A = this chain, B = another copy of it.
């Protein structure tokens, strides 16, 4: 039961059945599968075969599978659909899925889709499309069960039975008053455990956590993580219920935000396309800007290094320490910035904590720096016995500790500062911090080298 699906074997069987025109076999294979898995199979099929395979699906499963497909394949299918087929699929869509699909389609396809929606749905779709990208409004659906406070439990079940089939979730019902003002919520669990003549008003939960339409979708997803809700009501500024967000959308947002954070943290412009779907040129473009900026910044470090020409031509062994110092500084800074960026994202660290963070990072840096310097000294006494091990150990040890402290302070402070300035903390990640720390480490190293030289070690 729990085995992994073997997509390659399945594709092969389908290929074979298509050749034999054994559509019944394909149909029974598909009906035993989840829509998202069918979408994967269809996505790997030849694009000429796609409409044929899609038409084998029973109507409802077809619509569910359609939602899970990539936008390219959706477009291909819509262009192959008759008006009747398009209407069948559009009729089965939840509003939020319809919006997601429409957002990715060219104008002529959008027009064709909207022609097949009833006027009310069309209005709702247009309304949702108007909410800012990444807002709660843009990811919500309007298909929820709404109850009135004066209803009985029995009335509530009648209403769920009558209207529930089209709702994204029926398990949390929202109780609204006049003007759609949100008054409370009641779960089907509560309804099932209450006598049929109980008045909703007496059992509904009145302390409700809701989100506003304009709230950032990441904040919405964090509320799901924190409170373990199955759905969250979305209200306008007047506390009127306009929609709901369900946990599965929250999981999608969490995954998207992770991908985005990780991309920003390694200096890639975020994209929500998958790796193979993105063209080589697009990949290059997404990575180019930061590489250029960082390359030009790194030339400053180069110029600084060059300015110590006198020192390293007199004592070329010094150059051997530069990669180690720059590397360690970069790694120290990356460690700190990562911990802080993640802490900020999970709301464990807040902007007011900046001094606490820096104080903690300095202490960590001192411990780390001293241990690194000690190990480095041992290494020097093994590798550079013939040169001046005491001098080299003192210079590189002091530089290691200094670099670690600066790197960890910057790594700790910059993400928090970014947050204070309403920027995404993930931008202050390893590549930027590494570039800054590189320059610092070179300056520290050659200055320490000069000063210690003057001590006559």
Binding site for B on A (CB under 8 A): 1-2, 31-34, 36, 157, 160-161, 164-165, 170-171, 182, 188-189, 192-193, 207-212, 215, 224-228, 230, 235, 239, 247-248, 250-252, 254-255, 258-259, 261-263, 265-268, 274-276, 280-281, 283-284, 287-288, 290-292, 294-299, 301-303, 305-306, 309, 312-313, 316-317, 319-324, 326-328, 330-332, 334-335, 337-343, 346, 348-349, 353, 356-357, 360, 363-364, 367-368, 371-372, 375-376, 379, 383, 430-431, 434-435, 438, 442
The reply to whether A248 and B228 contact each other, CB–CB distance below 8 Å, is: yes
Contacting residues, chain B, for A170 (C-beta < 8 A):
188-189, 192
Q: Would you call B294 and A328 a contact (CB within 8 A)?
A: yes
CA distance A364 to B279 in the complex (A): 9
Point out the residue from B261, B280, B326 that lies within 8 Å of A364, measured CB to CB: B280
**A247 interface neighbour in B251, B261, B265, Cβ under 8 Å:** B251
Among A226, A294, A339, chain B packs the most CB atoms within 10 A around the CB of A339
In the complex, the answer to whether B323 meets A442 with C-beta atoms within 8 Å is: yes
**Cβ contact of A274, chosen from B210, B251, B337, B348, cutoff 8 A:** B348
Closest to A273 in B: B348
Inter-chain contact A363/B280, CB cutoff 8 Å: yes
Contact at B164–A189, with CB atoms within 8 Å?
yes
Q: Supply 30 A–B pairs (Cβ within 8 Å), ascending by A.
A: A2-B215, A36-B226, A161-B193, A164-B189, A164-B193, A188-B192, A228-B251, A247-B247, A247-B251, A254-B258, A259-B342, A259-B346, A262-B262, A262-B265, A265-B338, A266-B331, A266-B337, A274-B343, A274-B346, A274-B348, A276-B356, A284-B364, A287-B335, A288-B368, A299-B324, A301-B323, A302-B322, A309-B319, A322-B322, A326-B326
List residues of chain B with CB within 8 A of the CB of A258. 254, 258, 342
The interface residues of chain B lying within 8 Å CB-to-CB of A261 are 262
Copies in the complex: 2
Evaluate contact between A160 and B192: CB separation under 8 angstroms: yes
Q: Is the CB of B305 within 8 A of A323?
A: yes
Q: 3 tightest CB-CB pairs across the interface, nearest first? A: A228-B248, A306-B320, A302-B320
Q: Which of B2, B247, B268, B360 contacts A339 (CB 8 A)?
A: B268
